[in-house]
């Protein structure tokens, strides 16, 4: 990881923690605000630690883009939770006998940038 990339990642991490510290829930209920703050903090810690060992510049850039997208979406909608995707499990069209692996690959490609780090549920 280059020094510039490291600085960018650390800046994003501190930005997320500052957002969590000043976050107020849309419902203005104190328990909702506290649970959303703890979610933001835990999610940031988990994802940053999960991607701590990345060395490939391309994958680091994807993670940075995902973080920036999630920050912007969260601030815009005032909702810290990732927006769900509404794509049925086998909803993508197949071509001439493609099997399950092709479906899974197409689903992975169809996943939005802000959900790249989340597993399918």
70-103 pLDDT per residue, tens: 999 999 999 998 877 666 665 655 555 556 677 7
Same domain membership, residue 37 and residue 78:
yes
Q: Is residue 90 a part of any domain in this protein?
A: yes
Residue range(s) defining the domain that contains residue 108? 85-116
According to the model, what pLDDT value does residue 99 have? Answer: 62
27: left (phi over 0), alpha (psi -120 to 50) or beta: alpha
Taking only the tens place, the pLDDT of each residue in 2-33 is: 899 999 999 999 999 999 999 999 998 999 99
The CA-CA-CA angle for residues 37, 77, 24, to 5°, reads 30
Both 68 and 95 in one domain: the answer is no
**Domain match, 38 and 91 both:** no
Residue 111 lies in a domain: yes
pTM, to two decimals: 0.76
User: Tokens in use for 56?
Assistant: 């490939």
């Amino acid at each position: 990881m280059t020094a510039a990339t490291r600085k960018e990642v650390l800046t994003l991490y501190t930005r997320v923690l500052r957002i969590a510290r000043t976050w107020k829930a849309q419902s203005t209920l104190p328990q909702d605000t506290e649970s959303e703050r703890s979610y933001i903090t835990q999610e940031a810690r988990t994802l940053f630690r999960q991607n701590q060992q990345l060395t490939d510049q391309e994958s680091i850039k994807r993670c940075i883009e995902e973080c920036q997208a999630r920050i912007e979406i969260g601030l815009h909608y005032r909702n810290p939770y990732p927006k769900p995707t509404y794509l049925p499990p086998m909803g993508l069209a197949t071509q001439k006998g493609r099997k399950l692996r092709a479906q899974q690959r197409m689903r992975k490609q169809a996943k939005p940038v802000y959900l790249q780090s989340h597993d399918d549920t």
